[in-house]
Amino acid sequence: MTTATRLAALTALTLLWACATLGGPDLPSSPDEITEIQLGESAELTLDEDAPINLVDGAPYRVYQLELQQDATLSISATSSDLPPTISLYGPDGQLLGWGPAVHDEYSNLLVRPSAGEGTYTVVVSSPSADMTGSVALSVDTIDEPQEPLAFPGTTEGIVYDDGTHDEHPRRAHPLQLDEPTGLHLTVDSPDFTPLLALVDADTGETLDEAYPVRNNPPEIRTFAPAGDYKVVVIGDQLGPDGRFELTTDKIDLQPPEQFEPGTTLRSALNWERAEIAKTGNMGLPFELQLEDHQLVYAQLHTDEFEGLLVITDEDDNAVAWADSRLVEGEPVRLGRPTTPGDYTLWVSSVYGGQGTFELTVDLNEPPLPGDLELDAHIEGTLTEGSIIFPDHQSFVEFFDVTLEETKTLDIEARSQDFDTYLFVTDEDHNTVADNHDADIGTTDSRITREFEPGEYTIGVTSFTPHTQGSFELTVERDP
């Protein structure tokens, strides 16, 4: 070891010791414990009782030294099956250029930092504590830092590391200029760290959309952006590791939510940025509905990218109707609700917090009026897409009103050759007072026989299977 090299090492180690006493990275105490390593090389090291120990906490460490002849971006990797290794990098003047532990309980670590000129650099690999020992594979190399502008549409490679300009997460921002309103699809992936993704207004700094990994899938943003200047920001973990990423941008066919209008189909996207659906615990994308007359709100949500959920809330934030895709796998989510005049909000949401593109169609029709029933009646009816939708089963339903002037026992029966019937009765306060699925073993017909007090009742005939259509027969008879 030359005199200059020893002096550089002593300077680094002196500053290392000062950092350690202030709670910084673990530090060696003697330049004789330094091992030389060349760029592009790998080394197998052992952190055990034979290694030097940090006098502050007793954790074992190893020290390596490399020479740089010119500026470069250094990539230092430490991997172990025994412990999560910590990496520290010091420049020729002993300045701490980077430090970070392995995160997320993973036993691998990557530190990426630009060099501070030519000279001797010191790398310290240490255990997180005195009671954790084992083998570590260390590799040191340089990587090319891509300088090309954002490819749109296309794929852009980049590097994220802590350059000291951000208080929390390291990040890399790519300017994006849109000359016209555009539907955007942005996604980022990395072999080295868990990335986050954000779309930021370049003029105001406001985050317009952000995305996180979902179920081991890379983060994605699908949104409609007006013409203007933006930044697509790739964000690294708060504690590391650093590393490479691939950012992919594309144009997709989307419309702004503001273009929503009943009677048309809107193609939009559900992202992380969504509003709270009051009193439900869910979050969603709102669409306002103003109804001046009694109307049937018939909504359909088509998506292959998330488990869809539709909710209608009134002006008091009460959920008056809902439907989700769990009952109709592979089918659109349908919601049909007769609604009184007033202001309502239709929410597009997801059952499990998913995101993606969707198509929403909302029609406002004259509501079908319940048929009036006479006692001892026999009625033939049909379930169609024009029928109201029963939320509990996501099935079409037909209603029939009956008024009793005195207490009576009624025998109500629904039969169908086309679907599995479900029969229910509600009182004038819309409470279900009786229901039946199968009248007996081996039949799909439904039957209710019970005594009813005087009052107004509504009989509903529907299918136990979602979205089933077909004809049925309904009989209502008085017991003698």
Condensed to tens digits (0 to 9), the pLDDT of residues 34-64 reads 899 999 999 999 999 899 888 778 899 999 9
How confident is the model at residue 466, as a pLDDT? 77
Is the distance from CB of 422 to CB of 393 less than 8 angstroms? yes
The answer to whether the peptide bond before residue 241 is cis (omega within 30 degrees of 0) is yes
Per-residue pLDDT, averaged over 114-124, amounts to: 91
In which band, very low, low, confident or very high, does the pLDDT at 240 lie, cut at 50, 70 and 90?
Answer: low
CA 106 – CA 87 distance, rounded (Å):
14
In which band, very low, low, confident or very high, does the pLDDT at 147 lie, cut at 50, 70 and 90?
Answer: low
Residue 101 neighbours by CB distance under 10 Å: 16
Is the distance from CB of 455 to CB of 353 less than 8 angstroms? no
Is the pLDDT at 411 greater than 70? The verdict is yes
Dihedral Cα 195, 197, 200, 205, nearest 10 deg: -30
CA 174 – CA 231 distance, rounded (Å):
5
CA 471 – CA 418 distance, rounded (Å):
6
**Edge-to-edge strand list for the sheet holding 73-79:** 42-47, 134-143, 73-79, 108-114
Q: Which of 46-55, 293-302, 418-427 has the lowest mean pLDDT?
A: 293-302
Is the distance from CB of 325 to CB of 307 less than 8 angstroms? yes
Is the distance from CB of 395 to CB of 437 less than 8 angstroms? no
* Total residue length of the chain: 480
In 162-227, DSSP assigns E strands to 171-178, 182-189, 196-201, 207-211, 220-225
In which band, very low, low, confident or very high, does the pLDDT at 12 lie, cut at 50, 70 and 90?
Answer: very low
Expressed in percent and rounded to 5, the helix, strand and coil fractions of the chain are 5, 55, 40
How confident is the model at residue 369, as a pLDDT? 52
Q: Is 424 helix (H, G, I), strand (E, B) or coil?
A: strand
Is the pLDDT at 11 greater than 60? The verdict is no
Higher pLDDT, residue 371 or 460: 460
Q: Which of 205-214, 232-241, 312-321, 377-386 has the lowest mean pLDDT?
A: 232-241
Is the distance from CB of 456 to CB of 428 less than 8 angstroms? yes
* Single-letter amino acid code for the residue at 94: G
Is the pLDDT at 255 greater than 60? The verdict is yes
* Single-letter amino acid code for the residue at 217: N
In 2-114, DSSP assigns E strands to 34-36, 42-47, 61-68, 73-79, 86-90, 96-101, 108-114
Enter the tokens of residue 434.
Answer: 């009786």
Enter the tokens of residue 280.
Answer: 């439900």
Is the pLDDT at 15 greater than 80? The verdict is no
Buried b (16+ CB within 10 A) or exposed e, 301-323: bebeebbbbbbbbeeeeebbbbb
User: Which residue's structure tokens are 């990426």?
Assistant: 112
> Is 377 exposed, middle or buried (CB count within 10 Å of its CB: 0-12, 13-18, 19+)?
middle
Is the distance from CB of 209 to CB of 216 less than 8 angstroms? no
Is the distance from CB of 301 to CB of 387 less than 8 angstroms? no
> What structural domains does the chain harbor?
3-143 (2.60.120.380), 154-252 (2.60.120.380), 257-365 (2.60.120.380), 371-478 (2.60.120.380)
CA 463 – CA 417 distance, rounded (Å):
12
Cα-trace Rg, the chain:
33
**Nearest 5°: phi and psi at 33?**
-95, 15
How confident is the model at residue 16, as a pLDDT? 46
Total-model pTM: 0.64
First vs last Cα of the chain: how many Å apart? 112
Q: List Cα–Cα distances, 394 to 127, 162, 464, in angstroms.
A: 57, 51, 9
Is the pLDDT at 217 greater than 80? The verdict is yes
* Single-letter amino acid code for the residue at 69: Q
Is the distance from CB of 126 to CB of 85 less than 8 angstroms? yes
How confident is the model at residue 169, as a pLDDT? 76
Question: What is the share, in percent, of the chain residues with pLDDT greater than 70?
Answer: 84
